């Protein structure tokens, strides 16, 4: 069985790894040059990624991603850890007001991986490149699909240099471009409409390296420190080898915060954010990169990967080519890994026919639809709150909806600070281990939320208000 994966970034490489384990011979066609050879740190510095601009920003592998590597590619996970990536025990972030602090059986699942995107991708590439059934090819641009005479079955792809490369399975791993939509349209196949909801964010990020060992402060979110406040959000994610990344997010179109692209203003804002300041104190860390602007695309669930699409046998999509969720939530890499291996399971020893295409649509909806819906809902609520505070952004939304039939998000947040069951349940959703519906509609969860005592606002970390925030970035100078 032959498969062609179009796109050689994380989603494409993970799919190649998964398909090779399912018995496929895989060609990975990537338009960019191969990553540099040599020591990892030097290769990361020399690797320029014009086609993957998000590579310079903070990333995190959530628990569902770690679970996938533990079960499906433990040797790769070991390679990442040996190279300096760190497995983070999220139970260390159990809120201090939770009285019962004994570990529970499922706590071992609550682990994240701290690793720069470029390090993860470089080591994944080297691991996949050495597999006997995988052949990465660079400088290859795919222009369209080669279909059979009925137009219902893939026979391969057409490349920009006129080749027809045969395969019974073609995987679109082209990222946010989702090139298969154009391939289908060019072949005369109707394309199902995407589901799209705005993220309503502009972001700025910078990478740093600690001068010493140990963490300057605790990680209040398990794999990060930071939060979402009434007019901005900020998070610090630890990475490999003493590196970390800070991201500051503001309303899209907020001209008053445009100075955040300047190092001094960015540093002032980050230092003023609860939990982050200690990491950026003088003498504690040094910047590795300039301040980079984060492109926050809309949340998008591609119609072509769902059961609404008339399938073309043998064509599938993974990663951002299937679904994009707001990078603020850090789910993209983990969802791609999970989907890649589950799709390979579906394709193992199977004939790529129309029935399999429908099954793949159902699988993609299982993998992505809950997280698309959650991101869209949370973004709408946050955008309305920020609009009310800053006057920037889209009109305020109706009152914040509850998660399904469950308690309100504000009630859940308050209860998670004192109740270990509620906290664990919320973290499992954040980390992709449990769906929002299964968690927030659970009767025991709802009862525990209702019984939780109110929280004194004075106990919660306070970020600068809007006026103070604008004053400190306006007054900042230098790096």
Say how far apart CA 432 and CA 441 lie, in whole Å.
16
**How remote is the C-alpha of 255 from its chain's centroid?**
27
pLDDT in tens, 421-445: 999 999 999 999 999 999 999 999 9
Task: Give the CATH class of 2-196+298-373.
Answer: alpha beta
HSE (side-chain half, CA atoms, 13 Å) at 254: 28
Beta bridge partner(s), residue 234 = 227, 248
Say how far apart CA 126 and CA 349 lie, in whole Å.
27
- For 165, the token pair is 């490369």
Say how far apart CA 31 and CA 17 lie, in whole Å.
19
- For 127, the token pair is 């691991």
Which positions ≥6 away from 467 have C-beta within 8 Å? none
* pLDDT at res. 405: 60
86: exposed, middle or buried (Cβ count in 10 Å: 0-12, 13-18, 19+): middle
Judge whether residue 61 has pLDDT over 70. yes
The ranges assigned to domains in the chain are 2-196+298-373, 199-297+463-475, 409-459
Q: What sign does the dihedral 185-355-434-109 (CA atoms) show? A: negative
* pLDDT at res. 479: 43
Judge whether residue 458 has pLDDT over 60. yes
pTM for the whole thing?
0.94
Say how far apart CA 408 and CA 416 lie, in whole Å.
12
What 3-state DSSP class applies to 156?
strand
The angle formed by the CA atoms of residues 250, 379 and 298, to the nearest 5 degrees, is: 85
- In this structure, CATH architecture of domain 199-297+463-475: 2-Layer Sandwich (3.30)
Inter-residue contact 311 to 358 (CB < 8 Å): yes
Average pLDDT in the 60-74 region? 96
Say how far apart CA 387 and CA 440 lie, in whole Å.
27
| Length of the chain in terms of residues written | 479
* pLDDT at res. 195: 97
* pLDDT at res. 399: 43
pLDDT in tens, 262-275: 999 999 999 999 99
pLDDT in tens, 223-252: 999 999 999 999 999 999 999 999 999 999
Largest CA distance in the chain: 69
pLDDT in tens, 22-48: 999 999 999 999 999 999 999 988 888
Q: Where are the beta strands (DSSP E) in 168-298?
A: 169-172, 195-197, 201-210, 225-228, 233-238, 243-251, 285-287, 292-294
């Amino acid at each position: 069985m032959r498969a062609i994966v179009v796109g050689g970034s994380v989603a494409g490489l993970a799919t190649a790894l998964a398909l090779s384990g399912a018995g496929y011979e895989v060609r990975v066609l990537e338009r960019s040059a191969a990553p540099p050879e040599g020591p990892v740190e030097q290769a990361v510095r020399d690797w320029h990624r014009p086609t993957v601009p998000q590579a310079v920003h903070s990333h995190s592998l959530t628990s569902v991603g770690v679970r996938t590597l533990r079960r499906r590619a433990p040797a790769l996970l070991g390679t990442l850890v040996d190279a300096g990536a760190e497995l983070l025990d999220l139970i260390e972030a159990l809120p201090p007001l939770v009285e019962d602090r004994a570990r529970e059986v499922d706590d071992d699942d609550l682990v994240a991986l701290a690793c720069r995107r470029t390090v993860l991708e470089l080591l994944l590439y080297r691991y996949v490149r050495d597999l006997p059934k995988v052949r990465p090819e660079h400088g290859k641009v795919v222009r369209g699909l080669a279909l059979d005479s009925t137009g219902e079955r893939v026979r391969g792809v057409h490349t920009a240099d006129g080749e027809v490369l045969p395969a019974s399975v073609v995987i679109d791993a082209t990222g946010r471009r989702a090139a298969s939509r154009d391939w289908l349209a060019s072949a005369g196949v109707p394309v199902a409409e995407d589901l799209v909801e705005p993220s309503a964010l502009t972001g700025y990020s910078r990478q740093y390296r600690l001068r010493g060992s140990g963490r300057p402060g605790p990680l209040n979110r398990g794999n990060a420190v930071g939060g979402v406040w009434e007019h901005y959000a900020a998070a610090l994610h630890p990475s490999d080898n003493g590196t970390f990344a800070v991201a500051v997010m503001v309303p899209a179109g907020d001209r008053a915060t445009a100075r955040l692209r300047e190092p001094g203003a960015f540093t002032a804002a980050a230092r003023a954010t609860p939990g982050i300041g200690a990491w950026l104190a003088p003498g504690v860390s040094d910047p590795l990169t300039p301040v980079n602007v984060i492109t926050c695309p809309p949340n998008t669930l591609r119609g072509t990967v769902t059961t609404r699409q008339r399938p073309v046998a043998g064509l599938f999509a993974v990663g951002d080519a299937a679904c994009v969720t707001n990078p603020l939530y850090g789910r993209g890499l983990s969802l791609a890994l999970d989907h890649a291996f589950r799709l390979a399971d579906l394709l193992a020893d199977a004939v790529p026919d129309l029935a399999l295409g429908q099954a793949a649509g159902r699988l993609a909806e299982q993998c992505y639809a809950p997280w698309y819906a959650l991101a869209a809902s949370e973004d709408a609520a946050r955008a309305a709150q920020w609009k009310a505070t800053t006057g920037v952004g889209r009109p305020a939304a109706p009152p914040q909806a509850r998660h399904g039939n469950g308690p309100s998000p504000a009630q859940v947040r308050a209860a998670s600070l004192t109740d270990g069951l509620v906290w664990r349940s919320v973290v499992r959703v954040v980390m992709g281990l449990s769906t929002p519906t299964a968690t927030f509609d659970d009767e025991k969860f709802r009862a525990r939320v209702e019984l939780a005592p109110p929280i004194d606002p004075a106990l919660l970390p306070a970020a600068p208000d809007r006026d103070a925030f604008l004053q400190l970035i306006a007054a900042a100078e230098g790096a």
